[in-house]
């Protein structure tokens, strides 16, 4: 037991999102003789509020292969099916017993080595990340012609959820609270951390300080992306911060003048970069936002950097030392093909290209497309080289992109007892790369070879996605692909069917919008009878 306790302290000192939670789950299960129950089935709450996604828990039947002929009508049908599922699956009200669910969220599940060691299934986890990414593709949809305004309803629910449960407020445990900071986990009834683990194992609440991790630049950036995109929609009650630079350009929040560092950074960056760090906490002082005095090393994650650049770009805050150095770091990651090893918290091979492409296109960060020279001597605009690398990596036989990363193809994950955690990463990888090619304008490139290659890759990718879904009542689900992890990726990994479904939907929407035409950044797809279930039309 002493060895287990010492390991828990090590996890706490390293403060990796998810690692402490699962270590605590394991430790407490040994000391109290209890184990977390499966979160795969519905439990009726005392107030009659059910798990809105429970009816999809055991969906396993494949929808069949892709269409013989790709048509706009078929793609519209897929968008309609995805929308129906996402609307139906978003939690409509707080559920406070029988498994906490928060209004406005979509399900995600966490699984990892400590759960596997104890033969436990994936556990439901409320977090800020999933609702912010699921709602993102809906910014390219216009439901003004639908009486029920289903997209607006989902957007309002997410904004309310984030502001109520995730935005750091004075006196909520972060001292001092900097306006605009966001945390990965919600604070609910005085407990900050993984709510469902604490609910299942009550003694976990005794270790509340361990869970009270610092606010991070990643969730904070994605929140401000969400708030700013909300503010662009007429009638949305969003009030984004006018200048985000003070939030991210703090001296202790950039990779400069540090006396401590994460040793693992040496695998991909030789020294200080000046880029944005992950944690909005001073690593050179005792941790003042958690009542345990130990020193914490921060780190640079290339996906976190890209998300911060996107938020600053939308905010028209494209200046400052951290900004400039972060642009350079992102270009370096493309030139030297540093992904995915430059991302501690994200195992997927193809997520960095996606986030950096949307930071460029949707965030208006032209600095990301400056000329680079690759390690094999190729020269050209960074986004063009990124697109060429993606086209070259496609499986030409079926149109998919695979991900052979160590933590993307674990057999016990792909065939987990909890159906919501099953599936291989190809649907997720394919959706990411289709969107990336469209974001960077590859299908309209002046380079004829790239333009033709990208057009063919996008068509094949969309066709693959149309055939890789699971039929789910009146909806359709895409699953598989780890999207997030603790920085020691074997310890904790997250999956979410709604998240993967939203990524597939973004690919379909941007395909129909011909988003590869760089002049169409503000285009939105109007929802009509071909894109909406019948009960949305009345």
Indicate the average pLDDT of the chain: 83
Our measurement of the distance from residue 403's CA atom to the centroid of its chain's CA atoms, rounded to an integer in Å, reads: 17
Our measurement of the distance from residue 407's CA atom to the centroid of its chain's CA atoms, rounded to an integer in Å, reads: 16
Residue-wise over 209-235: b if at least 16 C-beta within 10 A, else e? ebbbbbbbbbbbbbbbbbbbbbeebee
Question: Which residue in the block uniquely carries the two structure tokens 């406005």?
Answer: 104
CA distance 287 to 354: 33
User: Which of 340, 361, 337 is CA-nearest to residue 429?
Assistant: 340
Predicted confidence (pLDDT) at residue 34 exceeds the cutoff of 50: no
Query: What pLDDT does residue 50 have?
Result: 61
The alpha-carbon radius of gyration of the chain (Å, integer) is 22
CA distance 380 to 378: 7
| Minimum mean pLDDT range among 46-50, 214-218, 409-413, 443-447 | 46-50
Query: What pLDDT does residue 211 have?
Result: 65
Tell me if the pTM is above 0.85. Answer: yes
Query: What pLDDT does residue 378 have?
Result: 97
Query: What pLDDT does residue 195 have?
Result: 81
The residues near 407 (Cβ < 8 Å, ≥ 6 apart) are 347, 482, 485, 489, 490, 493
| Minimum mean pLDDT range among 3-7, 166-170, 293-297, 327-331 | 3-7
Strands (DSSP E) found in 46-167: 109-111, 123-124, 141-142
Predicted confidence (pLDDT) at residue 21 exceeds the cutoff of 60: no
- Residues spanned by the domain of 101: 2-536
CA distance 512 to 525: 8
- What is the per-residue pLDDT across 339-375, written as a single tens digit (0 to 9) for each? 999 999 999 999 999 999 999 999 999 999 999 999 9
Supply the angle between the helices 426-439 and 351-361 in degrees, to the nearest 10: 30
Signed CA dihedral, 66, 67, 71, 75: sign only: negative
| Minimum mean pLDDT range among 105-109, 326-330, 405-409 | 405-409
DSSP string, 397-418: TTS------TTT--HHHHT-SS
Predicted confidence (pLDDT) at residue 216 exceeds the cutoff of 80: yes
Our measurement of the distance from residue 297's CA atom to the centroid of its chain's CA atoms, rounded to an integer in Å, reads: 23
**What size, in residues, is the chain?**
538
| Minimum mean pLDDT range among 234-243, 408-417, 426-435 | 408-417
pLDDT band of 208, cuts 50, 70, 90: low
Token pair, residue 186, equals 């919600």
Token pair, residue 155, equals 């957007």
Q: How far is CA 121 from CA 8, 72, 117, 264, in A?
A: 21, 40, 10, 30
User: Which of 298, 166, 295, 164 is CA-nearest to residue 223?
Assistant: 166
- Mean pLDDT on 189-198: 74
Predicted confidence (pLDDT) at residue 293 exceeds the cutoff of 80: no
Query: What H or E segment, with its residue span, contains residue 373?
Result: strand 371-373
According to DSSP, residue 66 is labeled P
Query: What pLDDT does residue 522 have?
Result: 83
- Mean pLDDT on 53-57: 80
What's the structural domain count of the chain? 1
CA distance 326 to 337: 16
% residues pLDDT > 70 (the chain) = 82
CA dihedral 409, 91, 118, 477 (to 10 degrees): -30
More confident residue, 196 or 16: 196
- Indicate which CATH number applies to the domain containing 342: 1.50.10.20
- What is the per-residue pLDDT across 120-171, written as a single tens digit (0 to 9) for each? 578 889 999 999 999 999 999 999 989 889 999 999 999 999 999 998 765 4
Would you put residue 190 in left (φ > 0), alpha (ψ -120 to 50) or beta?
left
- What is the per-residue pLDDT across 474-488, written as a single tens digit (0 to 9) for each? 788 998 889 998 888
More confident residue, 157 or 10: 157
101 bridge partner residues: 95
Question: Which residue in the block uniquely carries the two structure tokens 């436990």?
Answer: 120
The residues near 441 (Cβ < 8 Å, ≥ 6 apart) are 361, 383, 516, 517, 518
Strands (DSSP E) found in 135-179: 141-142
Q: SS3 breakdown of the chain: % helix, strand, coil, rounded to 5?
A: 45, 5, 45
Greatest C-alpha distance within the chain: 65
% residues pLDDT > 90 (the chain) = 53
Supply the angle between the helices 351-361 and 302-314 in degrees, to the nearest 10: 20
Query: What pLDDT does residue 49 have?
Result: 57
H, E, C per residue of 329-340:
HHHHHHHCCCCC
């Amino acid at each position: 037991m002493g060895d287990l306790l010492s390991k828990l302290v090590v996890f706490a000192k390293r403060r990796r999102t998810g690692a402490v939670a699962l270590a605590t789950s394991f430790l407490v299960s040994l000391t109290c003789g209890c184990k977390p129950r499966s979160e795969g089935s519905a439990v009726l709450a005392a107030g009659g509020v059910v798990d809105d996604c429970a009816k999809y828990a055991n969906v396993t039947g494949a929808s069949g292969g892709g269409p013989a002929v790709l048509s706009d009508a078929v793609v519209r049908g897929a968008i309609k099916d995805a929308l129906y599922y996402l609307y139906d699956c978003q939690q409509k009200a707080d559920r406070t017993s029988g498994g906490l669910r928060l209004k406005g969220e979509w399900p995600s599940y966490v699984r990892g080595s400590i759960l596997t060691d104890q033969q436990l299934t994936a556990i439901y986890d409320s977090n800020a990340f999933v609702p912010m990414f699921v709602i993102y593709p809906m910014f390219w949809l216009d439901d003004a012609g639908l009486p029920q305004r289903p997209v607006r309803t989902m957007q309002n629910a997410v904004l309310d959820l984030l502001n109520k449960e995730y935005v750091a407020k004075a006196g909520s445990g972060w001292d001092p609270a900097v306006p605009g900071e966001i945390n990965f986990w919600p604070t609910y009834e005085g407990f900050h951390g993984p709510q469902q683990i604490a609910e299942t194992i009550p003694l976990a609440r005794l270790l509340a300080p361990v869970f009270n991790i610092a606010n991070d630049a990643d969730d904070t950036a994605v929140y401000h992306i969400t708030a700013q995109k909300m503010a662009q929609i007429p009638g949305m009650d969003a009030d984004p911060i006018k200048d985000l630079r003070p939030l991210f350009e703090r001296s202790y929040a950039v990779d400069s003048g540090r006396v401590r560092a994460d040793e693992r950074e040496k695998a991909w960056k030789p020294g200080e970069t000046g880029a944005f760090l992950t944690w909005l906490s001073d690593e050179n002082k005792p941790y003042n936002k958690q009542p345990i005095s130990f020193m914490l090393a921060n780190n640079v994650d290339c996906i976190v950097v890209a998300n911060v650049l996107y938020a600053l770009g939308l905010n028209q805050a494209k200046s400052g030392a951290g900004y400039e150095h972060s642009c350079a770091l992102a270009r370096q990651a493309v030139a030297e093909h540093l992904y995915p090893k430059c991302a501690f918290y994200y195992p997927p091979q193809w997520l960095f290209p996606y986030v950096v492409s949307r930071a460029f296109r949707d965030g208006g960060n032209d600095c990301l497309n400056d000329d680079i020279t690759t390690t094999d001597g190729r020269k050209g605009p960074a986004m063009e080289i990124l697109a060429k690398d993606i086209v070259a990596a496609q499986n030409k036989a079926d149109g998919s992109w695979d991900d052979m990363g160590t933590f993307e193809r674990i057999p016990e994950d792909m065939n987990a007892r909890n159906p919501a955690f099953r599936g291989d990463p190809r649907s997720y990888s394919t959706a990411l790369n289709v969107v990336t090619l469209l974001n960077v304008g590859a299908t309209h490139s002046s380079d004829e070879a790239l333009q033709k290659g990208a057009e063919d890759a996008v068509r094949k990718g969309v066709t693959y996605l149309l055939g890789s879904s699971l039929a789910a009542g009146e909806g359709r689900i895409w699953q598989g692909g780890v999207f997030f992890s603790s920085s020691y990726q074997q310890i904790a990994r997250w999956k979410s069917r709604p998240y993967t479904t939203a990524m597939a939907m973004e690919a379909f929407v941007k395909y129909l919008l011909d988003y590869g035409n760089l002049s169409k950044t503000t285009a939105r797809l109007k929802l009509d009878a071909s894109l909406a279930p019948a009960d949305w039309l009345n």
